Chain A
């Protein structure tokens, strides 16, 4: 069974600084997808970034980027130029991808609570 581990329950960062959130996962699959979701106080889950395991290039979305290390099964999220609106719970998630590309279970970590301080 796949598992996702986020080892940092809480983190804080000063506005405009850079912060990195850690995520490791355990799987015997070769093809899969990894995601970072953000859950602000409103509790709406918002997709931040997605990475396909077959791609070596790390995904980026504006101020958000990942460091994907497939051999180490590591998938960290870097937030640059942190803003007050980045304050939220951040969840790392894993989904295996079968040959047909069908979807199934998203496996979530327990989350990291990020506070951005002015």
Chain B
């Protein structure tokens, strides 16, 4: 089955700790995205990548980092510099040039 997987489903972070959220897709999509969703809000773009080994900052990149070493994978690291990391994180992907983004099931990050 083709799709986007995110793990873990729930993640707990301690103060000062870096944590990494996984996003994998087997749709052969070129572009991948990370969004953050807060209660009562729409989604906001953190980072996106149009091609392997290249990525761009979105609207709220501070305190986050990404890598794109493989086409299938786009992990997001929430660093200790992100002071308010509690949120729902959604990964998406799209075929380059077709504009429609498809989403994974999300990861809920909570701070202990």
Contact = CB atoms under 8 A, between A and B. Distances in A.
B101 interface: yes
B45 interface: yes
Contacts of B2: none
Which size class do A's interface residues fall under? 20 to 34
A41 to B, nearest CB: 12
Nearest to B44: A108
Which size class do B's interface residues fall under? 20 to 34
B42 A44 contact: no
Prevailing SS type, chain A contact patch: loop
Contacts of A45: 43, 90, 92, 103, 106
Contact of A43 (B31, B40, B42, B106): B106
Residue picked from B42, B45, B96, B102, most chain A C-beta under 10 Å: B42
Interface string B79-112: 0000000001010101011111111111000000
Interface of B: 31, 33, 35, 40-45, 48, 50, 58-59, 88, 90, 92, 94, 96-106
